[in-house]
Amino acid sequence: MSQDDGSKSAGGAKFTALVLEDDPVCARVLTNLITSEGGQPLVCDSIAGANAALAKSEFDVYILDDQLPDGRGSSFYYQLREGGHWSPAIMLTGYPHIPVAVELTRDGLFDYLTKPIDAEAVLARLRKATGGIDQFGRRLAKVTFVCGASAMRDVERMVRQAAANPRATMLLTGETGTGKDLLARVIHERTFANTEPLPPFISLSCPTLPAEMFEAELFGAEKGSYTGAYQQRCGLVEAAHKGTLFLDEISEVPLLLQAKLLQFLETRNYRRLGSTDSKQFDGRIVAASNRSLPEEVRQGRFRQDLLYRLDVFSIHLPPLRERMEDLGGLIEVLLEQLAHKHQRKKPVVKPKDLETLQHHDFPGNIRELRNLLERSLLQTADDASWLQIEAAWLSQAVQASRQRASAAPVSTAPAPASPVAAPAPEAPPPTIEAQEYELVRKALEAEGGVIRRAAARLGISHQALLRRLEKWPELRGYTNP
C-alpha cells in the first residue's frame, strides 16, 4: 500500500508530545528530553490550555503532571480516554499515591513516575512509548492497493462496496501477517473520507483483554461498580462512537463472554457496568480472525449465532505466496516507507535477489517481508544504490529453493489400493449450553470450588455463576460448602 501522508508532526519530527506541566523548570527539562529524542513538544501549564491544544491537534504521547492550577492530571487522563485520545500517557507526580497509581495503570496508563524527575527514567519510558510510531505509515487518507493479483483486485472492489455501506458489520479473514489491521484502517478512512475531522478508529486485540475485565473494558463502568473502580470510566465502544470499532482476533474471546458480544452486535445497545442507562452505538464494527471461524464452531470454541452475526460482509486477504505478482510492488512501497522512517535514501532490490524472494513461501506474509526489508535496510550502507539483503536469510532461502527444485518424486505410479475402514460419521458440535456447562465445571475444579474465583476465571459475575449452579445443581458437588 502507498499513501500521501497527512502527518501531524512539523519539520519531520519523529513524534509529537503534549506536556501538561505548570512548573517552568520541570517543563524545560521535559522539553529538552523530548527534543533530544527527535520529538516536537507542546507545553501547556493548565488543563484548559491542554484542552485547547487537543481541539487543534492529536499527539503521539502525553506527559502529565498530576497537580495543576485548575485540576488533577489524573482526571485529565480520563478525559483523554473518553475523548478518544488513546496515545500512551505518562504521569508525573511529586506526591505519589499507590492506590491511584494502581488504578491508573489498570485503566491503561503507560507509566507512573515520581518527582524529582530522573532524566534517564523519563527517556527510557519515552523511547518505549514512541518506539512503535511510524509517521509515514500512520495515516491512510490517500491509500492505494498494490493489487496486480486478481485476489487483491477483488479485495479492492469489496472495500469500495464496504465504504458505501457504513452500517454493515464486517469480518476480515486471512493468515497472520496478511495486513488485516491495515485493511481495517483503510476501510475506516474510506468510509469516513468526507468527514472532518476523521472519526475515531479504536482497535482492540481480543486476546489481551482480561476475561474478568471484559465488560468494563468494552462497555465502560460506573464508579463503585467493582472493587477498585474509583471513578467512572469510558469503554472502548463508547470511545469508538461515530467511528470504527475494530475487534482483532475475535476467535480468542472466551465462549462465555461471546453472548455479551452477540447481544451488543445484534442491538448496538450497551450499558456501562453498574449502570441501568442504555447507550446506543452508532458506527462501524469490523472484526478480524486468523483462524477459520466455521472450524472454531465445529470444535465448540465459537458460537454459531455469533459467526452468523459477524459474517454479514466478509473480506478474505490472500497470503503473500498466492499473490507473488505483487511482490515487486509491495517491496517498492515498503522500502519507501522504511526509508522515510529511518530518514535515508531508498535503495533498490537486485533482480537476482528479487527472484530469490519470489521463490520463498513467506509463512509470515507481509509482516515477514517488511521485517526482512527493514533488517536489510539497516545493514545496507547509507549511500548504497542496491539493498543488501540480509546474508544469513538469503543463504537459507537459496538453499531451500535449490532443495525444492532438485527434489524428485518418489514414485509416479499410484499406490496400490488397500482396504480402509469407512470413516466414522462426524459428531455434531456440542450445544452452546453443553459447552458452557463444561467451562463452568472446569473453572470450579481449577479454583478448588471457590465460587468467586471461578466466576472471575470465567469473566462473569458471582451472581451469574450462582444462577448457572441453580440450573445445574449437580455442579454444586464441585463447590466448597
Model pLDDT for residues 114-142, shown as the tens digit of each residue: 888 888 888 988 888 776 554 433 443 33
Residue 231 is classified by DSSP as S
CA 49, 55, 61, 63: dihedral to nearest 10 degrees? Answer: 20
pLDDT for 406 equals 64
pLDDT band at residue 398, thresholds of 50, 70 and 90?
A: low
The more confidently predicted of residues 9 and 287 is 287
Residue 198 has pLDDT above 90, yes or no: no
Architecture of the domain delimited by 137-318: 3-Layer(aba) Sandwich (3.40)
pLDDT band at residue 477, thresholds of 50, 70 and 90?
A: low
Residue 54, C-alpha cell as written in the block: 487537543
Span of 44-48, 361-365, 448-452 with lowest mean pLDDT: 448-452
The more confidently predicted of residues 393 and 318 is 318
Rounded Cα gap, residues 442 and 437, in angstroms: 9
pLDDT for 419 equals 44
Rounded Cα gap, residues 293 and 297, in angstroms: 6
Residue 246 has pLDDT above 50, yes or no: yes
> Which CATH superfamily does the domain covering 10-133 fall into?
Response regulator (3.40.50.2300)
Length of the chain: 481
Tell me: cis bond preceding 423? Omega within 30 of 0 counts.
Answer: no
Bridge partners (DSSP) listed for residue 269: 280
pLDDT band at residue 288, thresholds of 50, 70 and 90?
A: very high
Span of 333-337, 356-360, 434-438, 440-444 with lowest mean pLDDT: 434-438
Rounded Cα gap, residues 17 and 34, in angstroms: 8
Residue 7 has pLDDT above 50, yes or no: no
Compute the average pLDDT of residues 408-419. 47
pLDDT band at residue 420, thresholds of 50, 70 and 90?
A: very low
The fold of 324-402 is Helicase, Ruva Protein; domain 3 (1.10.8)
Residue 423 has pLDDT above 70, yes or no: no
Span of 35-44, 154-163, 216-225, 396-405 with lowest mean pLDDT: 396-405
Compute the average pLDDT of residues 375-386. 90
pLDDT for 280 equals 93
Crossing angle between the packed helical segments 73-82 and 98-106, to the nearest 10 degrees: 10
Highest mean pLDDT (candidates 27-36, 109-118, 328-337, 464-473): 27-36
Q: Parse the chain into domains and list their residue ranges.
A: 10-133, 137-318, 324-402, 432-478
pLDDT for 438 equals 78
pLDDT band at residue 107, thresholds of 50, 70 and 90?
A: low
Q: Please provide the average confidence, as pLDDT, over all residues in the chain.
A: 80
Residue 82 has pLDDT above 50, yes or no: yes
Residue 194 has pLDDT above 80, yes or no: no
Same fold, 137-318 and 324-402: no
Q: Is-contact 68 22, C-beta < 8 A?
A: yes
Question: Which residues lie closer than 8 Å to 350 by C-beta, 6 or more apart?
Answer: 386, 387, 389
pLDDT for 149 equals 62
Q: Where are the beta strands (DSSP E) in 265-339?
A: 269-271, 278-280, 284-289, 313-316
pLDDT for 269 equals 93
Rounded Cα gap, residues 91 and 73, in angstroms: 8
pLDDT band at residue 145, thresholds of 50, 70 and 90?
A: low
pLDDT band at residue 459, thresholds of 50, 70 and 90?
A: low
Compute the average pLDDT of residues 344-362. 88
Helix (H) or strand (E) holding 452: helix 451-458
* CA nearest to 115, candidates 95, 101, 99: 95
pLDDT for 307 equals 93
Rounded Cα gap, residues 195 and 8, in angstroms: 18
Compute the average pLDDT of residues 353-369. 87
DSSP-assigned states of every residue in 33-56: HHHHTTEEEEEESSHHHHHHHHHH
Other beta carbons within 10 Å of 404:
10
Question: Which residues lie closer than 8 Å to 90 by C-beta, 6 or more apart?
Answer: 61, 62, 63, 64, 109, 110, 111, 112, 113, 122, 125, 126, 129
Please state, for a pLDDT cut of 70, what percent of the chain lies above it: 80
Residue 317 has pLDDT above 80, yes or no: yes
Residue 13 has pLDDT above 60, yes or no: yes
Tell me: cis bond preceding 197? Omega within 30 of 0 counts.
Answer: yes
Span of 197-211, 351-365, 467-481 with lowest mean pLDDT: 467-481
* CA nearest to 154, candidates 316, 320, 333: 316
Residue 18, C-alpha cell as written in the block: 503534549
DSSP-assigned states of every residue in 83-136: TT--S-EEEEESS--HHHHHHHHHTT-SEEEESSP-HHHHHHHHHHHHTT--HH
